[in-house]
Amino acid sequence: MGRTILVINPGSTSTKLAVFNDDKIVLSHELSHSSDMLSRFPGVMDQYEFRRDLIEGFLEENGISVSGLSAVAARGGLLHPVSSGAYRVNDRMVEDLKQAKYGEHASNLGGVIAKALADRGNAPAYIVDPVVVDELEEIARLSGHPDIPRRSLFHALNSKAAAREAARIIKKRYDEASMIVAHLGGGISVGLHHHGRVIDVNNALDGEGPFTPERTGTLPAGQLARLCFSGRYTFDEVRELIKGKGGMVAYLGTNSSLEVIRRIEKGDERAKVVYRAMAYQIAKEIMSLFPGASGEVDAVVLTGGMARDDRYLVPWIGEMLGRHVRVVVLPGELEMEALALGVLRILRGEQPAGEYS
């Protein structure tokens, strides 16, 4: 019969759902949530009942009973730093997510909803490789001032999944390879996967690294300090400038790479310069990680939604990296499969589940 695993992946404007029988996907669906609908809720966790009820409706419509689930897997949210792996959703984790103790993000809903549904079906709930996976080398934590240590916040779930798939393609074990994985989406994270650990990565949540469709990336520190104390912006407005109104949004008024491509193909030179500048910053971030592997990198992996752009962004990055760098392109996201497989390894007894404490 196999094991039935429900996978829940909440995003800012959608909730992706999938049902797996062992490692085979048997059903998938994406629930879209309009901005008007979500604007009724003051905070992310206020959406809990709304999203839970929609998921329950989806299960009922497809004849899936929670009592028949072997486990529920969810995208992990903002928690205290943890090592890579799958973690059982316990009461401590739910409390930290509900209180947004380490920050507010749509993915915080994942663990909370997963545990509620799993408890009803008397099944376990897990998160896998949350955004707070922290495997940084100590030398990578130093930013230049002890009051501002570098933090590991990145697209760990998809990056780890893409790295494992790339390792298979280049015929190496993940824990033996050195790869740089660039997740290219609304946020961009670029990490060095060295012998199974992400030993350096930009903080993609707080605007470190290359600029993105809606984030500024790293800014000149002195100019940013002057801007903060200029009296033109409140703290919240600066935060929004860095994350939400930065990057392509600030330069071109859109966070859609498809829209930018459309403009380029109509002859918009400004759009082309901005888009190529983003490719340049991504390539610079990738090359900055080579010293962490003593220059010996087996492959650079490009993944995420924008890795689908095989006309401009991906070729530009490849051109900037040079012909001696092997590039593996895995467009889109492998998150749903990664969640299911991470939990399946637990259910099969291939690895233990972590305990959040």
Min mean pLDDT across 99-108, 161-170, 215-224, 318-327 is at 99-108
What percent of the chain has a predicted confidence (pLDDT) above 70? Answer: 100
Backbone φ and ψ for 185, nearest 5 degrees, come out as: -145, -150
Confidence of residue 40 (pLDDT cuts 50, 70, 90): very high
Q: What is the pLDDT of residues 127-151, one digit of tens each?
A: 999 999 999 999 999 999 999 999 9
For residues 65 and 63, what is the distance between their CA atoms, to the nearest angstrom? 6
Q: What is the pLDDT of residues 327-354, one digit of tens each?
A: 999 999 899 999 999 999 999 999 999 9
Query: What mean pLDDT do residues 240-248 have?
Result: 93
The domain segmentation of the chain, as residue ranges, is: 4-132+335-355, 156-325
Cβ atoms of 191 and 180 closer than 8 Å: yes
For residues 255 and 15, what is the distance between their CA atoms, to the nearest angstrom? 20
Which secondary-structure segment (H or E) carries 328? Answer: strand 327-331
For residues 111 and 107, what is the distance between their CA atoms, to the nearest angstrom? 8
Beta strands in 111-262 (DSSP E): 125-128, 178-184, 188-194, 197-201
Cβ atoms of 69 and 121 closer than 8 Å: yes
Residue 75's identity, in one-letter code, is: R
Give the model's pLDDT for residue 14. 87
- Write down the pTM of the prediction: 0.90
- Average pLDDT score over the chain: 95
Give the model's pLDDT for residue 93. 97
Q: Give the CA angle between residues 157, 36, 64 to the nearest 5°.
A: 55
Which secondary-structure segment (H or E) carries 313? Answer: helix 313-321
Higher-pLDDT residue of 76, 218: 218
Which of 136, 107, 185, 159 has its CA nearest to residue 300? 159
* HSE-up of residue 227 (Cα within 13 Å, Cβ side): 12
Q: Give the CA angle between residues 122, 126, 130 to the nearest 5°.
A: 160
State CA 356 to chain mean position distance.
Answer: 20
Cβ contacts of residue 132 below 8 Å, gap of 6+? 76, 78, 79, 80, 81, 82, 102, 152, 153, 156
Confidence of residue 205 (pLDDT cuts 50, 70, 90): confident
* 3-state SS assignment for residue 59: helix
Structure tokens at 4: 């039935």
Tell me yes or no: is domain 156-325 CATH 3.30.420.40: yes
Residue 1 has pLDDT above 80, yes or no: no
Give the model's pLDDT for residue 160. 96
Confidence of residue 37 (pLDDT cuts 50, 70, 90): confident
Whether 156-325 and 4-132+335-355 are alike in CATH topology: the answer is yes
Cβ atoms of 299 and 182 closer than 8 Å: no
Confidence of residue 11 (pLDDT cuts 50, 70, 90): confident
Q: Name the strands in the sheet holding 86-88, side by side, starting at the edge strand that comes first in the sequence.
A: 24-32, 14-21, 4-10, 71-75, 125-128, 86-88, 354-355
Q: What is the pLDDT of residues 249-305, one digit of tens each?
A: 999 999 999 999 999 999 999 999 999 999 999 999 999 999 999 999 999 999 999
Residue 244 has pLDDT above 90, yes or no: no
Q: Regarding the domain delimited by 4-132+335-355, which CATH topology (the fold level of the hierarchy) does it fall under?
A: Nucleotidyltransferase; domain 5 (3.30.420)
Residue 58's identity, in one-letter code, is: F
Give the model's pLDDT for residue 139. 97
Structure tokens at 41: 């809720």
* 3-state SS assignment for residue 342: helix
Give the model's pLDDT for residue 13. 81
Cβ contacts of residue 334 below 8 Å, gap of 6+? 158, 161, 162, 165, 303
Give the model's pLDDT for residue 265. 98
Cβ atoms of 260 and 254 closer than 8 Å: yes
Cβ contacts of residue 204 below 8 Å, gap of 6+? 153, 154, 155, 183, 187, 188, 189, 212, 215
